[in-house]
Structure 1
Amino acid sequence: MYAGYGLRIDSELLLPELPPAPGLPARADVVVRLGPVRPPAPDALALPHGFWADGDRIGLDVPEVGRYLCERGTRITVEPAPGASTDALRLFLLGSALGVLLTQRGLLVLHGNAFVVDGACAVVLGHSGAGKSTLAAEMHRRGHVVLSDDVVPVDAAGRALPGWPRIKLWQDALDRLGLPSSGLDRVGAGFDKYHVPLERAAAPGPVPVQWIYVLDRHEGPLRVVPVTGAAGFAVLHEHSYRNEILVGGLRRTHLARSAALARVAGLARVERPRGVDSVASSADAILDHIARAARPGPVIREEQHATGTATRTVGA
């Protein structure tokens, strides 16, 4: 029995990335089974990137890996393709398939990472390759607990649920952070990407989300720019994990969860100069923005961090 995102997971496929579930044996919240998956019906809805929706069943077909079926937020069935490696099966199970299952459970599942600052949670969003995991590793190096990497589920109360204690980093990110890859497990065969375990004093519980930052690039200095109004909904949808599955009832739940989160969390874009390694300065800017937001005084509307810092404020 494994633990992750507050769930007890009973899996026939060995999942060494996940910690064991604590306490006495109890009924699983989620079961993962190996076996045949009934193909989608002729009238099933074909979705991008190999996903399909057939009533309350959400499936995923991954060439040369297998077919995954998520049902009712409680069960994932995996039908391996001939010759598929267990590494590849786990990669898509713990990523796309589990992300779908968490969405089925009514959670707002964001594509990013989450770390803790003074008892509250900051979520960093961004497209693949934006540097989210490298930034999470930098926050961990500075002593902040990293709740989750890559997949961040947020419950109806606006709390981020903790994942398993690891970050996935490419070799170049390890080099920038001064971390050796020797002894680390690869994410998958042929990937120059590694599982980096995180040390935690204790297993964290859900943490209220107070800040959301979106990593972006532009032709200019590093700056933190607030996102307000309807633009916040667009940000949350754009950076929802596997948002191609958000159809029907899942879309309605997503909109409700997004609206609830936007009411309690501040959103901002972290715009970084193109072609510049800005991991440390991005961490500085985010932590400074959080510290300023926690202090009484003028409301920060824009901050620029580079050679020549400028800050514009309005209100009191």
Structure 2
Amino acid sequence: MTIRVGPVATPGPAAVPLPLGLWVDGEATGVDVPEVGRFLAERGCRITVQPYDGADPGAVRLFLLGTALGCLLVQRGLLVLHGNAFRVGSACAVVLGHSGAGKSTLAAEMHRRGLDVLSDDVVPVDATGHALPGFPRIRLWQDALDRLGVGSGGLSRVRAEHDKFHLPIERAGLAPLPVRWLYVLDRHDGPLRLVPQRGAEVFTALHEHAYRNEVLVGTARRTHLARSAALAATARMTRVDRPRGVDSVVASADAILADIAATEREGRHARTA
């Protein structure tokens, strides 16, 4: 992959305009971010960045490693999910959720417990159902750092105007790992509970939590559906309903890890039966 700084032309007449400043033009996908810059991902191999005058470098990096990289990975035929992944033995679990759902805070809790975090925010899954490792960092708000007892001094901000920081993490060298568990974070007016998802619920969640699902048009949409079907056949999805207005990070981690342990026991029992 090549990343270069240079001019990005405005969308031409053949481009398909999409929400959030995105557009698709053949094998290219672009995005125009006000006060930040214009980005163009092409043929799954090159990203061109045109920062606007006075743009915050942190914001440019945020959209480069987020939206632009996500679009490039879609062009490569990967299933790109909005979540994080952590290692469990020889496989991994992927936690999905909308922005602000607490995915990164949960990933930090798993890391605190000694589990390797493969990626945070963008999780690419290949045609064989393996999650690819991302950058060794977790993006956390100040309150999440406080609860972990980690100071923000020396950490770089995600954006200059936000109290959100890049927390570098240590991990062993990781290869792509098969996805065995999918957990979708949600809120409700009730106690913490885990609800298995099946059939159409799985496909709906994989589309809803695709990274920048706005760009899933034409060939990209067909590839997404094929990759989703393959993943649904090999991974188990569960919705995690968490009590609204309650800090349930520790309880959520406990419940997810207990669920994983239970499915592993069931798997061993089925193999020996």
* TM range, smaller chain: over 0.9
Q: What is the Cα deviation at residue 177 of structure 1?
A: 2.0
Aligned twin of 2:191: 221
Aligned twin of 2:242: 272
Superposed counterparts of 1:56-67, under 5 Å: 56-67=27-38
**Higher deviation after alignment, 237-246 or 40-49:** 40-49
Per-residue Cα deviation, 1:174-214 (whole angstroms, up to 9, x for no partner): 112222111211112111000111112x3201000000000
Ranges in structure 2 where 5+ consecutive residues have no aligned partner: none
Aligned twin of 1:204: 174
Which structure has more relative contact order (CA 8 Å, sep 6+)? It is 2
- If the length of structure 2 is used for normalisation, what is the TM-score? 0.96
**Higher deviation after alignment, 49-58 or 276-285:** 49-58
2:56 and 2:83 map into 1 onto residues whose CA distance is: 26
1:55 and 1:129 map into 2 onto residues whose CA distance is: 33
Aligned twin of 1:32: 3
Aligned twin of 2:219: 249
Aligned twin of 2:202: 232
Name the SS for the 1:296 alignment partner. Answer: helix
Q: Does 1:149 align with 2:120?
A: yes
User: One-letter code of the match for 1:136?
Assistant: A
Per-residue Cα deviation, 1:263-288 (whole angstroms, up to 9, x for no partner): 00000100011111000000000000
1:232 and 1:91 map into 2 onto residues whose CA distance is: 29
Aligned twin of 1:113: 84
Per-residue Cα deviation, 1:206-259 (whole angstroms, up to 9, x for no partner): 000000000001111101100000110000000000000000000000000000
Greater percentage in helix: 2
1:45 and 1:174 map into 2 onto residues whose CA distance is: 41
Q: Does 1:162 align with 2:139?
A: no
Compare CA radii of gyration and give the structure with the larger one.
1
Q: What is the Cα deviation at residue 43 of structure 1?
A: 3.4
2:126 and 2:181 map into 1 onto residues whose CA distance is: 15
2:101 and 2:266 map into 1 onto residues whose CA distance is: 32
Aligned twin of 2:166: 195
Name the SS for the 1:295 alignment partner. Answer: helix
Q: Does 1:282 align with 2:264?
A: no
2:183 and 2:96 map into 1 onto residues whose CA distance is: 6
Per-residue Cα deviation, 1:143-194 (whole angstroms, up to 9, x for no partner): 1000000000000000000001100000011112222111211112111000
**CA contact under 8 A between 2:58 and 2:158: conserved in structure 1?**
yes
Q: What is the Cα deviation at residue 90 of structure 1?
A: 1.0
Per-residue Cα deviation, 1:69-118 (whole angstroms, up to 9, x for no partner): 11000001111212223222111101100000011001000000000111
Superposed counterparts of 1:36-185, under 5 Å: 36-185=7-156
Ranges in structure 1 where 5+ consecutive residues have no aligned partner: 1-29, 300-315
Identity %: 70
**CA contact under 8 A between 2:56 and 2:159: conserved in structure 1?**
no
Aligned length: 269
